[in-house]
Amino acid sequence: MGSCGLATGADEVYESVREEVERLGLPYRVAATGCIGWCCQEPLVDVCLPRKPRITYGHMDAHKARELVRGIPKGDLKLDWSIGMLTGWDNPLTGTGTRYAKVAARVDGVPRYDELGLFRNQARWATRNCGVIDPASLEEYIARGGYMALYRALHAMPPEKILAEVSRSGLRGRGGAGFPTGKKWELMRRQAATPKYLICNGDEGDPGAYMDRAVLEGDPHSVLEGMLIGARGMGASEGIIYVREEYPLAVRRMQEAIAQAESAGLLGENIFHSDFDFRVRIVKGAGAFVCGEETALIASVEGRVGEPRQRPPFPVERGLWGKPTCINNVETWANIPLIVMRGGEWFSRLGTTKSKGTKVFCLVGAVKNTALVEVPMGMTIRQIVNNIGGGPLEGRRLKAVQTGGPSGGCIPESLFDLKVDYESLTGAGAIMGSGGMIVMDDSTCMVDIAKYFLTFLAEESCGKCFSCRKGLQRMRDLLTDISQGRGRESDLQLLEDLAWMIRETSLCGLGQTAPNPVLSTLRYFRDEYLAHVRERRCPAKVCRELIIYHIDPTLCDGCGACVRVCTSEAVFGEKKKVHVIDNARCIKCGACLEVCQPKAVVVT
């Protein structure tokens, strides 16, 4: 029951299960969990019975849910609706796991989770509890080993040891730049000024990204525990969780978690009967992408306009209210309890030489399994897209993957054997960013994609730097011209010149990385740009001004499906006779193409 599940009707499903259980007087407990990441199957229901595996049902609705509940007491588990069986769920925090009944083989064709590529290839560390526990229950978090790391950090580790373990782990910030967390914490600890602040950056303004939301909604205590341990290590007394206003459920879950932790003595004074005090409050952001940048975020918390400022001084030297401030991403904080419990050495065993541990990605776009996944650093793009994502959609060819959010880059299919780590992605002209991974197939126009991201970034530029403000607008206008058939070949050089100028002269990471979508598509897909400017042709048949829709008379059977879906009344024809499209009226929405069974609608 994360936001994504709720958007597909999970609350209705939950209510109907609850009502049916109550109506029949069944001795079952109905509980909500956060997001397990199986986005393409939402809403999901799990049934856990003694001596049975945990059985998962996908695409549930209220009606099916009631029927499922009615069948359970009769032993009818509706296995034909099931999409997977969970026999165990490893807990990286404790090195143990929750075991459900073992099933040796498939039951009536229902695969086990460990047989599903989507789950088999993941290492769920930061998302260890998401979709497993009830996020509103402190007890369930504790039952999975929660707050044990904090106890250890307070009673068995001097602050220097906490920092040493974080440094040893090789953990790098998951918010985008990949700065070594241990190094930042050391710098922070050395600051003499007090009070010291910690901030959890949950702004997450990138389109297509929801990693941090899933953790805040699905396992809020893991973030709190990470911050508490960080506060002990760095000597901070106050924490702020910065979450965007558009994430109301994440805000609610965090509020609940803070209240529970306070009443259990896990936040406030003398935590765990120690001399350690720490308080946390939530600040809601107004939803500007640039407010995710750390100095803009601080300005926003202080009630000023969210504009980045020159660094140095860095926030650890002079941050919130001029005091030392350590800002880390949600996922970074959620990893901390693992490092304290299992040790930095253990954490660093997974990953590549310079990128340790795991990374959460939102795998979206043209793959069979759109999902929230967590993979070991160093897994190749091909493994993520094919083994976890299930490969391209039926009849489609993979073309590229876009990583790193709006200011990331597009990596072509020929480079899919690239390892996902900070250095490899940057070397290929993309960035790790916070974890967006958008898969594109042959139905995507790369000029259109570059235009989409540049439009977003031009709107989100705070405007402080002239080069970013005007330069991005100019790049967006050039891309619009190219996609509408008014581009010239010399525009490609102009785009490149502008890109380098903006990158070199912008103050913050927004401007410095904003040209990436254009530079990477020009680097790998220049032929598509050339087709647009030289031949006024869009090879992917996407750019509306460069395509027309018509009906192949030899294939049309006059069924009328296209007439019914056309909102602009552009399709004509009598029943059972060949239809035609009036191009003066056609808005090229593609609705007719989608519904035409005999594939008579053609785009040229």
Residues that bind ligand FMN (CB under 6 A): 173-177, 179, 201, 203-205, 289-290, 292-294, 327-329, 332, 434, 508-510
Q: How far is the CB of 330 from ligand FMN (least distance, A)?
A: 7
Q: Measured from the CB of residue 235, what is the shortest distance to ligand FMN in angstroms?
A: 19
Q: Is the CB of 171 or the CB of 401 nearer to ligand FMN?
A: 171
State residue 555 phi and psi, 5-degree precision.
-105, -25
**Environment class of residue 504 by beta-carbon count within 10 Å: exposed (0-12), middle (13-18) or buried (19+)?**
exposed
How many residues are recorded in the chain?
Answer: 604
Tell me how far, at minimum, the Cβ of 309 lies from ligand FMN, in Å: 12
Burial class of residue 58 (count of CB atoms within 10 Å of its CB; 0-12, 13-18, 19+): middle
Residue 362 contacts residue 208 (beta carbons within 8 Å): yes
* Amino acid at position 203, single letter: D
What three-state secondary structure class fits 241?
strand
d(CA 373, CA 389): 9
Residues in Cβ contact with 304 at an 8 Å cutoff, skipping those fewer than 6 apart: none
C-beta closer to ligand FMN: residue 289 or 456: 289
For ligand FMN, the closer CB: 205 or 376: 205
Q: What angle do the packed helices 516-524 and 490-505 form, to 10 degrees?
A: 140
CB of 121 to ligand FMN, least distance (A): 25
The answer to whether residues 144 and 93 touch, using CB atoms and an 8 Å cutoff, is yes
CB 404 within 8 Å of CB 431: yes
- Residue 603's contacts (CB-CB under 8 Å, 6 or more residues apart) are 541, 547, 548, 549, 593
Measure the CA angle with vertex 563, ends 557 and 567; round to 5°. 155
Of the candidates 327, 325, 358, 375, which has an alpha carbon nearest to the alpha carbon of residue 169? Answer: 358
Taking alpha carbons only, the member of 377, 400, 381 closest to residue 389 is 381
Q: How far apart are CA 565 and CA 6, in angstroms?
A: 28
DSSP-derived pairing of the beta strands 279-285 and 238-244: parallel
Q: Give min distance, CB of 199 to ligand FMN, in A.
A: 8
Number of helices (H) and strands (E) in the chain: give both, helices first.
24, 18
Q: Which is nearer to ligand FMN, 16 or 407 (CB)?
A: 407
Give min distance, CB of 545 to ligand FMN, in A: 31
- Closer to ligand FMN at the Cβ: 292 or 337? 292
> Encoding tokens for residue 118?
């989507």
Going by the DSSP 8-state scheme, the letter that residue 198 receives in this structure is E
CA atoms within 13 Å, Cβ hemisphere of 57: 22
- Could you write out the DSSP letters of every residue in 37-48? S-GGG-S-EEE-
Measured from the CB atom, the residue of 126 and 130 that comes closer to ligand FMN is 126
CB-nearer residue toward ligand FMN: 6 or 209: 209
Amino acid identity at 460: E
Q: How far is the CB of 295 from ligand FMN (least distance, A)?
A: 8
Closest CB 172 distance from ligand FMN, rounded Å: 7
Q: Residue 502 CB, nearest distance to ligand FMN (Å)? A: 13
CB of residue 420 to ligand FMN, shortest distance in Å = 16
Partners of 481 in the beta sheet?
none
Is 415 exposed, middle or buried, given 0-12, 13-18 or 19+ CB atoms closer than 10 A?
A: middle
Whether residue 344 contacts residue 169, with contact meaning beta carbons closer than 8 Å, is answered with: yes
Tokens linked to 455: 């439009």
Rounded to whole angstroms, how far apart are CA atoms 512 and 82? 47
Sign of CA dihedral 309, 314, 317, 319: positive
Q: Where are the beta strands (DSSP E) in 275-357?
A: 279-285, 325-329
Gap between the Cα atoms of 187 and 190, Å rounded: 5
Whichever of 201 and 383 has its CB closer to ligand FMN, that residue is 201
Report, in Å, the least distance between residue 313 CB and ligand FMN: 15
